[in-house]
A and B are shown apart, each in its own frame.
Chain A
Amino acid sequence: MNFDYSEDQRALQDTVQRFVARDYRFEQRRAIRDAEPGWSREVWQGLADLGVLALNIDEDYGGLGYGPQETGLVMGAFGAALLLEPYLAAAVIAPALIRRTASANFQERWLPDIATGASIVVLAHADARQAPVTEIGGNLSGRKAVVAHGGCADLLLVSARTADGGTGLFAVTSGAEGVHLRDYPTLDGQRAADIILDNAPATRLDAGGAAEAIDAALDIGLAALCAEAVGIMDATIAATTDYLKTRQQFGQPIGRFQALQHRMADMLLHLEQARSMSYLAAMHCTDRNQAARQRTLSAAKVTIGQACRFIAQNAVQLHGGMGMTDELILSHWFKRLTAIEMSFGDTDFHLQRFARLSRAA
């Protein structure tokens, strides 16, 4: 047993941390967020040049063939910097899904482009409740809801109900006829889109097993999301510690007050438990046994979701009025942590799934 990262892994982490410290300071991020399209192609190219877009792509297709641990290190650094670019969707989930479903030809066509940043591919999975996406005669109709970074995709990987009642995975070109995108900012400053498909031309990617492949890719994404959350919570707690030591009231630093000290201790408890589960999620997110894997990932998401809520709320509370301002990065961490708790299934969803899978086991 060993909880240390290797030298290579540390070097990767350093590289990414140096990049965000130089090219993704909070003011730079604010400028990117406030201008259309709400993310930066220049930054994306910078990430491609660093090699991090190639992290989750096999060496056969121009990638580096790394795994969930390296992805977690990168996500932690991006989390603290509040990256607006579609790293999780396009560089983690999409390659994992393509690798599990598509033909060699399709992989050959798209994976090298993802690695170099030439193309952005995003999964559109969750249906709008009233209009699930359905395949009829090879074309798709229906609506996908709140697709993270759907608006910036060149190619969409769309799940759809097929004629036989199963699930298929289809490639849809964003600019194709019958594809309507409604792009909007989300609470955390990122972008999402509703995608309305009206008899849109599509190419089926999988030869069966699409539902399992999507679950598997989303689990890899969930482990990466957990690592992102831990990166944000680390930064949030460091900033709050700093504030408690410097903010003076009643003639002393407010960190001398026990009520505040105990909140801080509780935040640290949540953080360390979340960090432990983030490691466990990275270790198990590629396991083949779906029930065991989902049980572990649900446990991780419950721990991390609860930590996100607790740490975000208390960090704002301990910052007092300043915690409420848009000026401090703290409120932006708060919003991203809020969004993470609600993404990939919220705490209640995963608590119930864990209970069900534990009983069946």
Chain B
Amino acid sequence: MDLNFSPEESAFRVEVRNFVGEKLPAHIRDKVTNGVHLNRDDHILWQRTLHQRGWGGPGWPKEFGGPGWTPTELYIFEEECAAAGAPRLISFGLKMIAPVLMAFGTPAQQARFLPKIMAGEEWWCQGYSEPGAGSDLASVKTRAVREGDFYIVSGQKTWTTLGQYADWIFCLVRTDPAAKKQSGISFLLIDMKSPGVTVRPIITLDGAHEVNEVWLEEVKVPAANLIGEENKGWTYAKFLLGHERTNIAGIGIAKRELARLKRIAEAEGRLADALFAARVAQVEIDLMALEITNLRVLSAERANKAPGPEASILKIKGTEIQQAIAELMMQAVGPYALHFGQQDVGPDYAANLGAGYCNLRKLSIFGGSNEIQKNIISQMILGL
């Protein structure tokens, strides 16, 4: 047993740190480190910067133009990016649809879509959830009917994160309404500019426009945009969810936010309060433990050991920690956390803390709610 990074990994960390230090634009870094929402241009600028360095597809194998990093190298990369205040990778293209295309796409689909994801030229969004299909994803109702070389798609998707920026959406659609729940689903790629696609914003409790409804009204989709076989979509959907979990623990982000919490608490004199200091200590300790747990999972992945309930453990604890930090930051500034949307009241660092706290309640709901994760864990250990 050896808990240290190898010399090569440590050198790689320095390489990433130097690159991010040199190339990350200050206005993006300032937004990220102060909890301000990024716009589309910010994300794309950073993706293109990474692409120029050959790092546009972190986590991708070399055969598809990625750097071919190990899980540990990918972890180091994301941790360094987060610590320096770089935008988090937009996962819908890079970490969700890309692995599906690599595993199940045709060579033509791979050639058409993968390079543009890596180059930051096309933005993807996820068409999974529907008003009647949340945790129970297999009850999707959006219909796709085959007519010649096309599917005609009608239905409604929801909670579509950053769908307002998206060029493409990958959708779970029902192609066989007579079949049992999971077996009548197909996986379709839909151009957001197609006639019949309408994006409507959903404003969340923090006042932000992050998620959307996507309405599909008799949208004509080329049959060539079907992934794999018709009615096998559930297999690909599950595969995608398995890949979504890289960086699911969010260690780097949590470390950066913890440092921000400590700065704010120190400035407010709150660390002299033993009770508040103990609360900060508790979350810092939980994060230390999760960091090691995460490294254990990476180490097991490298040895190709069968995945246990670890991803669910990382998701639950990682989101609880990030939520706890946001809550403590809000608590630290007291009443100034309550003002909403003003930039010139109270200390600068207080400006987004109330909204940030509100926004992060999403963490324990999305990506499989934490209760669903506990179902998964108990299924794995009890098998009942």
Give chain A's interface residues, CB within 8 Å of chain B: 1-6, 9, 69, 241, 244-245, 253, 255-256, 258, 261-262, 264-266, 268-269, 272-277, 279-280, 283, 296, 299, 302-303, 351-352, 354-355, 358-359
Contact A352 B278 (CB under 8 A): yes
What is the CB-to-nearest-CB distance from A209 to chain B, in angstroms, rounded to a whole number? 29
Contact A4 B1 (CB under 8 A): yes
Contact B1 A273 (CB under 8 A): no
Question: Can you give 11 contacting A-B residue pairs, CB < 8 Å?
Answer: A1-B6, A2-B1, A245-B382, A245-B384, A256-B384, A262-B375, A264-B377, A268-B309, A269-B377, A280-B3, A355-B274
B-side contacts of A9, CB under 8 Å? 1
What is the CB-to-nearest-CB distance from B137 to chain A, in angstroms, rounded to a whole number? 18
> Contact partner of B280 among A2, A269, A280, A355, CB < 8 A?
A355
Q: Does B284 contact A (CB under 8 A)?
A: yes
B-side contacts of A241, CB under 8 Å? 381-382
Contact B375 A1 (CB under 8 A): no
Name 14 extra pairs, CB < 8 A, besides A299-B288, A351-B281.
A1-B299, A2-B2, A3-B1, A244-B382, A245-B383, A256-B384, A261-B379, A262-B374, A265-B373, A276-B296, A279-B296, A303-B285, A354-B284, A355-B281
Contact A1 B317 (CB under 8 A): no
Which B199-239 residues sit within 8 Å CB-CB of chain A?
Answer: none
> A198–B250 Cα gap in the complex (Å)?
58
**B303 (CB) vs chain A CBs: closest residue:** A4
Contact B384 A277 (CB under 8 A): no
B-side contacts of A6, CB under 8 Å? 1
What is the CB-to-nearest-CB distance from A337 to chain B, in angstroms, rounded to a whole number? 18
Which B252-280 residues sit within 8 Å CB-CB of chain A?
Answer: 271, 274, 277-278, 280
What is the CB-to-nearest-CB distance from A356 to chain B, in angstroms, rounded to a whole number? 8
Give chain B's interface residues, CB within 8 Å of chain A: 1-6, 9, 72, 271, 274, 277-278, 280-282, 284-286, 288-290, 292-293, 295-296, 298-300, 303, 309-310, 312-313, 316-317, 371, 373-375, 377-379, 381-384
B-side contacts of A258, CB under 8 Å? 375
What is the CB-to-nearest-CB distance from A239 to chain B, in angstroms, rounded to a whole number? 12
B-side contacts of A2, CB under 8 Å? 1-2, 299
Known interface pairs A1-B6, A269-B316, A272-B293; A352-B274 also in contact (CB < 8 Å):
yes
Of A264, A283, A355, A358, chain B has the most CB atoms within 10 Å of the CB of A355
Known interface pairs A351-B281, A351-B282, A355-B278; A1-B295 also in contact (CB < 8 Å):
yes
